[in-house]
Structure 1
């Protein structure tokens, strides 16, 4: 069996498929129940791939003792035994060795002995004011709350060495014996939501440590080539790279040179992720594809900008993009919806953590499977290549060494409860898993029907990330990105349109041709190569619209460069108004609709309908098809629910639809109709047709 990830899509022996997974934290359960819990997960949900973190603190609690993966020191550390059970049950595994895992564990899964507060050899990660970043540790303080401990600097010498030791141990002692095709491990995920669940933090939050700044200045030397070239671009007179200081104060840029310095800092954040990812992967030497799971942007006004400047998958060279969702109920909260969609669209890759089990810890809405079902379908509609049930099984067997913060069960409402029994959610997950087992490859190959593509120029994000929230004025030169993209997202959603995102600094002219209509926000400077790329795009007959800001007239070193300005002046291109695409339109009801078509047939594809929590009554979608034809699609489902319909030659095929949302007290007799063809349930229930067979799930 050969496992590959191509453009974020799982290929097994060359055949593509949608990656449907569920997490099981083996380290939180007694080994005596591992087999039964995994069997229940497999049989009740249809999931065949399990994800599992491998907590460093669990397997190596003492620095001078080698990690235990066989259970020699304690039975629940028998990772090899756990993986053997997975293999015997026919389950594949995505192993997740950190080094930081979060997962509601003490100190994020790091061992206490790697904390800078306990080990003076470990350098702390620092913010712009020189303060260490803190994370809940493993002890309760006098006030009964968990003490907050400093996190290690990711490139600090001692931390790097010990992480290397940990990763090499996992690679040699675990992966060499368990990777496919002879073992169950098909992929590896490293890190967690950035490095230390910090991928969404502001650019001034880290890393101003000595090791971080040394890497920053080394990066400047490589980018500019010489200190003279740096000084010329920035208008400075430094005599040594060590004199160059990063931005620290959140305020508007007063000069274009100051903008350029902020672009440098944004590039450093992207390079910092890449450096750590590659160093940890090299030590692990896994022999299978490696993923990461970026968290979406945070809720702050600057969050899109900071996230876009840091999250640059195109710079990871062989490490694959994945993402998570922990920011709120997207069927209710527009802000959560926007942040989630951006994470799904940024690059091809799977959702590696969707909340299917935590209602008490996060939001009571997650007690209902409809909430997570809605979000999983939104991720796929927006571009994700896989879904994850986090977690699939409730656990209750951990000790204070792993988690002093939470009481069993963990989590409180997953598909399989702490006694191994299926809950109502198990049937909902089963519908998803079975539908995409049949149709996943075709769904992923189908083309999203989308309007214009947002042309991302990440240096603009790094500039505008520093603009204060109480300042409406744009920085000098009008450089903006994240907030402009957020406004564009809202416009497209209001118009019922879909869109894509392309990274201008890495895309080739051939790949860009797949995006015939580009929109972007301008700024004072832009790399000459990118200006020439956009100019060539227009010369090939494609469209480029500037939706704000000024046309760049400088290159990446602030030298005169008017290539793009002249091309735009020649075409008369400018801001565009009105609908941008004749896509699916929601005629009645409050919902979002996404349509993707199968190659060679504009009237065959998949329509995803995402019903908002305040919707009343049926949702009707006007669906344009090929050759001037159209269809009227009607869906009657629960508030906050969702449906996906396979439409074949304009007629209804298989489908999924939620008619029940217990959290909202919504119980609807489900119905789907395409023109005159209708399938109507008999009672309030979830309704599905998979492989032509009708299913009713009343919970």
Structure 2
């Protein structure tokens, strides 16, 4: 029996932090005879956990009975699949919905719910019926049906929980909650929901203010519903603001209901998980919308955490900051015990349409894996690990194929293991990635990413943009402004420049009190809209001696449209004008002061600023007015950049240096594209992470806190590859001080190392004799250097302490 806990942002199993490497295998899409092969493939790949959805639509039979043991069809034997996973030495992560998506029809909800309760399909803007097969989550009929499903499936899972001797170490509640409504811009606005909004608004504001904000009398249900479904232009921003905030609370209550139901039916003693959606088109710019929708549902909830749903395709300089920032933002709204993880970690070749319009390079999975574990992800679930076949529905519905999914017969044809069990090139890449991580898994499981005294500001309300009434001009303008400036900054340059300039940084939730360990410098990409509480918090940060890098435009309004210039007033800045790029307008800026000497550059916009105490940094050429300034505020200092300057890494390094940021891990590299960070465990053991997303090799000399690593020798990181270098790792009676090799394993007084350079070295501290399976050993006063000339295939080398 194993006890599983979430503690100190770690997954702790039997008192020991664990890094879990999972793969999604759908038993219901594979004949029973194939299950063992796919589970063995997962173990060979380096996995220790199997994850699976459990489709309600498949397990519920036409007569209303539920089969979870295979009595009607072997591919309904959830119990047998979990038992086999346990026999194969795997943990299990179970995802029983009610909604599961996974290309299942109705997202996994049985057809009979729609037949019996047609009103469960919500109405939306202007009273229209939604086009997707979503359901009002809090409708009593749906909750009752979901309770019935949980009453069947949860006892089967409960019998196999880890603390009862089984494999199950986590249970996901529903899937991608709120995603369908967001991607279709169709908020659930049934009569029941509108009435619930009324109660929520009156409780929050009182009747009079609620009436003013929505534009209808709360005592008139018809008028109230009409005002919510079709907001007037005068009330548009307040209605949208309140609707987004209400939905967060609605999703929170839905998760509470599901968790209470699961616990009633025996699932206790393992963590519950919430899957956060939001990536699209190979980018993560909209991923924080999912965080914004769901963070109130999990933050602060004991033994419950969120996981990402990442579909980013390849990893390049275009989107590496998307992945890094998504991880940081996700962690920013976790509490002190909630670890980040990825519940759907894209692993296939991208040929999702089976039309060969897209093929991702295999190394993409390795790059993403290395970056995510460096940022503290404690679980990665390769999705989809193995494909399969969609069986026919128990009862035909006449939709053209009568199968459980809309992908046809074959499913998961892009997965590392295809439906027929064949391996595509992503399998070997995933195996390399997982085995590279496996060698340092014990260190990663109990380590945290370090930072350079810099944090990226996260404003969840900047992502309350999932809904906009089609006729509202003011809402369209607000959303467009937020989409242009929020998060990673104009043109994504703020986050991309900081990351590729060699800095590593967490994010901080600016809508909550700043924690005591908040780095002294906050970098914020700001739009015209920035909430009053956030502006006040930034002012207090500055007056307390903190520093601020603001990139975007000067905030001037709260989210409901009311004027708010608290931050601008504290900075002593006003806006004197703005020039934007256009067919006959080519705004350019030039540096002054510490930024002088660089060539004039064209920008997409420049917001002109005025302030008596402001020191100009950039000026807009045609007017000569500043569009970037430094300002002292109390004992703090701010650098405000209101132009979308290019990703000039030297400029951004100089900018953050002005605010006191210094790199702890520096690389004198010969080209861009390298991401650097480090992780450290409570004992001070460190791993140096180098991820090269560039299409060419990068050579560099590393320095740690100003001290050259490996005496300043240059390292080569091949194109689209990574390294995890041990730095001060103990084994037996020795310390692995530094090396060019990756760590494969540690066992007592022996380490196994993988050479990476073709001419490698290992530096150890010990007074005992050292032996190496190859290479030369040189000892001097407690310091031992092992030199490893390149071999024919650079097999791992074993080093032992006598």
The answer, yes or no, to whether TM exceeds 0.5 is yes
Cα deviation, residue 156, structure 1: 2.3
| 1:237 CA displacement | 6.7
1:542 aligns with 2:546: yes
Q: C-alpha deviations, 1:16-42, integer Å up to 9, x for none?
A: 122210111000111133234323432
1:635 maps to which residue? 716
* Residues 1:220 and 2:308 are matched in the alignment: no
After alignment, is 270-279 or 399-408 more displaced? 399-408
Aligned equivalent of 1:652: 740
Q: Does 1:267 align with 2:245?
A: yes
Q: CA deviation at 1:320?
A: 1.1
Q: What do the CA deviations read for 1:333-358 (whole angstroms, capped 9, x no partner)?
A: x2x54544343222232111223235
Contact map agreement 2:502 2:674 (CA 8 A) in 1 = yes
User: Do 1:313 and 1:320's aligned partners in 2 also have CA atoms closer than 8 Å?
Assistant: no
Please say if residues 304 and 483 of structure 1, whose CA atoms lie closer than 8 Å, have aligned partners that are also in contact: no
1:281 CA drift (Å) = 1.9
Query: Is it true that 1:238 corresponds to 2:217 in the alignment?
Result: yes
User: SS at 1:188's partner residue?
Assistant: strand
Task: Report the Cα offset of residue 385 of structure 1.
Answer: 2.8
Name the Cα RMSD after superposition: 4.3
The correspondence for 2:328, drawn from 330, 345, 353, is: 345
Superposition deviation, residue 131 in structure 1: 3.7
Which residue, out of 687, 703, 715, partners 1:605? 687
What aligned pairs does 1:6-17 form with structure 2 within 5 A after superposition?
Answer: 6=7, 8-17=9-18
Q: Which residue of 2 aligns with 1:354?
A: 345
**Contact 2:53 / 2:94 at 8 angstroms: preserved in 1?**
yes
- The 1:426–1:327 alpha-carbon spacing in structure 2 relative to 1, beyond 3 Å, is closer
Distance in 2 of aligned mates of 1:315 and 1:91: 27
Instruction: Give the secondary structure class of the aligned counterpart of 1:346.
Output: helix
Q: Does 1:320 align with 2:305?
A: yes
Compute the displacement of 1:527 (Å). Answer: 4.8
What is residue 531 of structure 2 aligned with on the other side?
526
Query: Does residue 289 of the first structure (1) align with residue 295 of the second (2)?
Result: no
Where do residues 320-469 of structure 1 align in structure 2 (5 Å cutoff)?
320-331=305-316, 334=318, 336-348=319-331, 349-361=340-352, 368-396=361-389, 398-399=391-392, 402-403=403-404, 405-406=406-407, 409-412=410-413, 414-416=415-417, 418=419, 425-444=426-445, 445-450=447-452, 452-462=454-464
- Cα distance in structure 1, aligned partners of 2:49 and 2:315: 26
Q: 1:371 and 1:600 mapped to 2: Cα distance?
A: 31
Superposed counterparts of 1:160-199, under 5 Å: 160-195=143-178, 197-198=179-180
Taking the aligned partners of 1:680 and 1:358, their CA distance within structure 2 comes to 36
Q: Is the 8 A contact 2:676 2:689 kept in 1?
A: yes
1:276 pairs with 2:276: no
User: Which residue of the other structure, out of 481, 489, 504, is the alignment partner of 1:498?
Assistant: 504
Partner Cα distance (1:513, 1:523) in 2: 28
Structure 1 residues without counterparts, runs of 5 or longer:
136-149, 657-668, 694-699
- The offset of 1:519, in angstroms, is 2.7
Provide the C-alpha distance between the structure 1 equivalents of 2:424 and 2:284, rounded to a whole number of angstroms.
39
Change (3 A) 1:210 1:574: farther
Conservation of the 8 A alpha-carbon contact between 1:293 and 1:352: yes
Q: 1:260 to 1:417 in 2, by over 3 A?
A: closer
Partners of 1:519 and 1:546 within 8 A in 2: yes
Counterpart CA distance in 2 for 1:151 and 1:297 is 20
Displacement of 1:2 after TM fit?
1.3
Give secondary structure in 2 for the equivalent of 1:546. Answer: strand
SS in 2 for 1:186: strand
The verdict on how the C-alpha distance between 1:344 and 1:294 changes in structure 2, with shifts beyond 3 A counting, is same
2:692·2:721 contact (CA, 8 Å) conserved in 1?
yes
The answer to whether the 8 Å contact 2:127/2:229 transfers is no
**Which residue is equivalent to 1:51?**
51
Q: Is the 8 A contact 2:486 2:527 kept in 1?
A: no
Q: Give the Cα separation in 1 of the matches to 2:789 and 2:188.
A: 57
Q: Is the 8 A contact 2:314 2:361 kept in 1?
A: no
Alpha-carbon distance in 2 for matches of 1:170, 1:474: 44
| Aligned counterparts of 1:692 and 1:134: Cα–Cα separation in 2 | 63
Name the CA shift for 1:39/1:227 in 2 (closer, same or farther; >3 Å): same
What is the distance in 2 between the residues matched to 1:450 and 1:200?
36
Aligned mates of 2:14, 2:682 — CA distance in 1:
25
Paired with 1:24 and 1:478, the residues of 2 have a C-alpha distance of: 40
How far apart, CA to CA, are the structure 2 residues paired with 1:443 and 1:672? Answer: 26
Q: In the TM superposition, what is the alpha-carbon distance from 1:426 to its structure 2 partner? A: 4.5
Q: Which residue of 2 aligns with 1:18?
A: 19
Secondary structure at the aligned position of 2:125 is classed as coil
CA contact (8 A) 1:3 1:289 kept: yes
- Provide the C-alpha distance between the structure 2 equivalents of 1:30 and 1:503, rounded to a whole number of angstroms: 47
In structure 2, distance between residues paired with 1:431 and 1:371 = 12
Task: Work out the CA distance in 1 between the residues paired with 2:468 and 2:287.
Answer: 11
Provide, for residues 261-311 of structure 1, a one-character-per-residue CA deviation record: whole Å limited to 9, x for no partner. 432222123223322222222212221211122123445998467445424
Shift of the alpha carbon at 1:56?
A: 0.5
Partner of 1:124: 121
User: Helix, strand or coil: the match of 1:68?
Assistant: coil
- Alignment partner of 1:322: what SS? strand
Instruction: Please say which of residues 81-90 and 511-520 is displaced more in the overlay.
Output: 511-520
CA distance in 1, matches of 2:546, 2:700: 30
Structure 1 partner of 2:579: none
Partners of 2:181 and 2:7 lie apart in 1 by 24
Cα distance in structure 1, aligned partners of 2:101 and 2:670: 42
TM-score by length of 2: 0.70
CA distance in 1, matches of 2:713, 2:106: 53
Higher strand fraction (1 or 2) = 2
Q: 1:304, 1:486 within 8 Å by CA — same for their partners in 2?
A: no
SS at match of 2:35: helix
Unaligned runs of 5+ in 2: 332-339, 394-401, 572-631, 642-650, 729-736, 745-754, 764-786
The whole-number CA distance in structure 2 between the counterparts of 1:494 and 1:575 is: 21
Q: What secondary structure sits across from 2:330 in the alignment?
A: coil
CA distance, structure 1, for counterparts of residue 193 and residue 241 of structure 2: 17
Worse-matched range after superposition: 72-81 or 459-468: 459-468
Partner of 2:97: 98
How far apart are 1:598 and its partner, in Å?
2.1
| Counterpart Cα distance in 1 of 2:73 and 2:351 | 31
- Report the 3-state secondary structure (helix = DSSP H, G, I; strand = E; otherwise coil) of the residue aligned with 2:116: coil
Aligned pairs (5 A) from 1:37-116: 37-42=38-43, 44-62=44-62, 64-114=63-113, 116=114
Equivalent of 1:573 in 623, 635, 638: 638
- Cα deviations across residues 158-178 of structure 1 (Å, max 9, x unaligned)? 222211211222122432454
- Are the counterparts in 1 of residues 292 and 464 from structure 2 also a CA contact under 8 Å? yes
Deviation at 1:395, TM superposition (A): 2.6
Shift of 1:6: 3.1
- The CA deviation at 1:92 is 0.9
**More moved, 293-302 vs 338-347:** 293-302
Q: Separation in 1 of the partners of 2:202 and 2:797?
A: 58
